[in-house]
A and B are shown apart, each in its own frame.
Chain A
Amino acid sequence: MVAPFEIVGREDFSDVTYLLEIFHPRMARAARPGQFVIVMGHDRGERIPLTLADFDPERGTVTLVVQAVGKTTMEMQARCVVGSSVHALVGPMGNPSEIGEARKVVCVGGGLGVAPVFPQARAYKRSGAYVIGVVGFRSRELMFWEDRFRSVCDEFIVCTDDGSEGIRGVVTAGIERALADHGDVDEVVAIGPPVMMKFCAEMTRPYGIRTVVSLNPVMVDGTGMCGGCRVRVGDRVRFACVEGPDFDAHAVDFDDLMARLRRFAASERAALERWQGSCRAGVGG
């Protein structure tokens, strides 16, 4: 018998990036590319949104790739071992990505964004599209899922900031190469840090290629009730949790998104320092 939300698999890609495979058969069946979940590590934890990196109806599991950047994600890194459970896991949330008629697609993942863009690349591949994968990492040591991602792509371009693998540079260099090689790209899907998505949008804007980004702003409920995730898209304010998370990259106000992501920066810093202090003192998790 598996406990609710039990962690049945874990993989550490680096000091900060880790994969959790969580048992939830119903969610594994319902999930579609582009959707996200909200997780609470423990009963005093906060609710954090994470885009699904994979879902496997046969194994009855969903997969999350997490980067330990703050108190919550570092604590999860320390606590979430195989056999333990997270306190709460709700989803799939948000609208699934539209896997449309596009015949030639560039799927771009920057850093952690490689994980959530993978299900979309796979879905496009299964729909018969020609898929060009572009992944970007700071350096070769931080790469993960290379083989997995490559297996759903017709072409695969790696970019590293330090040039230790593939093209030296950020993902826009990879997109540039793909667009130079292929004049008939229908769509670009880009997931990664907001600033990366912003540059991807600027990169494709002159080409007029439909570009989709997945936004992950601060959320509480994730069901359209709190309004914390509001982002400016075009002239309108949209709620990413129920109207997204995918939006037209050329209409998203990324500066607004980045500013709103820093809303709780001071509290987050304080929480992290306190937690790290208690860890050193040997009291905390």
Chain B
Amino acid sequence: MSTGPKKKKKKKTIRTISPDRTPMLEQDARVRARNFAEVACGYTLEGALREAERCLLCPDEPCVRGCPVEVDIPEFISKLTEKSVRGAYETITDTNLLPAICGRVCPQESQCEGVCTVGDTLEPVAIGRLERFVGDVAIAEGWQSVPYVEPSGFRVAIVGSGPAGMACAADMAKAGCEVTVYEAFHEPGGVLRYGIPDFRLPNEVIDAELEKLRALGVRFECNTLVGRLFTVEELLIEMGYEAVFVGTGAGAPTFMSIPGESLAGVLSANELLTRCNLMRARDFPDYDTPLQAGARVAVVGAGNTAMDAMRVCLRLGAAPVYCVYRRTRNEAPARAEELHHAEEEGIEFHWLTTPVEILGDGGLGVRAIRCQRMELGEPDESGRRRPVPVPDTEFEIEVDMVVYAIGTSANPILGQTSSLRLDQRGYIVADERLATSIAGVWAGGDIVTGAATVIEAMGAGREAAREMKAYLGLRDTDVVYLRERAGGVGKRFGIDVREHNYARVTA
């Protein structure tokens, strides 16, 4: 690195950059499979700078379009190459307030990194790791881009404090609205808190990101079950909110209706993860919530939730832990890194396998799971090849705990308690602009689309916020007039610096 007067940088080409991604330090698989500390330790400054240099700053910017919230990725990476982590942070938080979370949990391989130009020939730029690095530095340094926003006078209620609600809350607060987020659990964060385990997303990171929302003026009201304590209609009519966003998330876990599912050792991944993560059953009896962890566990399903459930079971001391999935590794819906980590940690995979019965031990417990082999047949509506049972291939796997992670169905509470229109499967009907059947109420995330990813939920929260601002007659602060990219003075914190109601206050 030159310390002299600034030299004109040589243009990077695919031949001049490092062909391999800068590795991220990880806990050794054998060690980490027995603890709840974070698996991936993140980049050092040096590592991040080295990786940032691999970005060609190509003119197409496919990565930006690959991101559900359109983070200006080349801009933040170029700030990094200038050693301005703060600048990179400002750029990311223009569009995404939660980089430390997204850098950890986004499926980058099917988003920004999946379309990266470098990835056409070499390993793509590790955008997710860089984003995480920037987010972590911001938390460590206590950076808080707190704008002074003149109140718009509008009050907005958000139902659910998960990723969709958090993203929506941030945007509405930045537009000067008084935002209250209602959460049924005793702690905010939604699936980030109860679902995603600490070794993937530490609680401190969630706390730090929530703190940023509070700094923007967002209020969180926990222990509040909207629909039952008061209805969505009451929020609008009696409680004085001008707009409502519903982001209540995933619903009831799906079981398979095979014999043996009532046995004590059979539970949903949601229950396992909530007990372990939110309720801290892993620290039983210091915490009161029990979780009788199995010694040998089978997890049914191969999505991110399944991977989390398996790896939690390992850390609770189970061995072996099996994954039972009716398709092959290629069709597994989990994020590539999660699947890879699960394999490294010693999960035993039974691909092309489906359970047909859970066998009891004579008492309340589970003795084994009886499975059948599958093969892939013709493609179904989803385009994936449909698994078909192979006759006479039943076999038993000896386990004492079976965890289902095969999806969820819609949560019924708001349907039971409001006039919100639902589709046939019970999800809230929202149009392409996320408006529901009640004027003034928008909905997004899993309660509209069914199970999806954290970043998609955040994207929906932001989309709804745009529509809510339009409905309230608030100018869309995302639209930046006279944007000057080079100096980076056009937009701060996602708001045009020329906005009359905006002044920058820096922590």
Contact = CB atoms under 8 A, between A and B. Distances in A.
A10 interface: no
Nearest to B195: A225
Nearest to B223: A90
A270 B281 CA distance: 14
B285 A274 contact: yes
A239 B252 CA distance: 8
Interface residues of A, number: 48
Contacts of B252: 224-225, 227, 239, 242
Given A92-B229, A256-B262, A264-B292, A226 B268 contact: yes
B264 A260 contact: yes
Point out which of A243, A256, A271 has the most chain B C-beta atoms below 10 A from its C-beta: A271
- Say whether chain B's binding surface is mostly helix, strand, loop, or mixed: loop
Contacts of A5: 223
Nearest to A44: B287
Contacts of B279: 46-47, 220
A262 interface: yes
A227 B262 contact: no
A47 B289 contact: yes
Interface string A73-86: 00000000000000
A251 interface: no
A222 B416 CA distance: 15
Nearest to B288: A46
B257 interface: yes
B411 A223 contact: yes
B154 interface: no
Interface in B413-439: 413, 416
B185 interface: yes
A218 to B, nearest CB: 9
Interface string A47-85: 100000000000000000000000110000000000000
A226 B186 contact: no
Contacts of A256: 262
Interface stretch (B46-54, B202-210, B269-277, B343-351): B269-277
B186 A263 contact: no
B160 to A, nearest CB: 10
A161 B416 CA distance: 41
B262 A260 contact: yes
B23 interface: no
A165 interface: no
A179 interface: no
A259 B262 contact: yes
Contacts of B225: 90-93, 222-223
A237 B412 contact: no
Given A26-B229, A237-B255, A264-B290, A227 B264 contact: no
B376 interface: no
Interface in A12-43: 26-27, 30, 35, 40
A228 B267 contact: yes
Given A222-B225, A224-B411, 19 more contacts: A27-B229, A71-B288, A220-B271, A220-B275, A221-B185, A222-B184, A224-B413, A226-B253, A226-B268, A227-B252, A227-B268, A237-B255, A243-B412, A259-B264, A259-B364, A266-B292, A267-B291, A268-B290, A274-B285
Across the A-B interface, the 8 shortest Cβ-Cβ residue pairs: A267-B290, A88-B186, A226-B271, A46-B288, A227-B268, A227-B253, A46-B289, A263-B264
Interface of B: 184-186, 194, 222-225, 228-230, 249-253, 255, 257, 261-262, 264, 267-268, 270-271, 274-275, 279-280, 284-292, 364, 411-413, 416
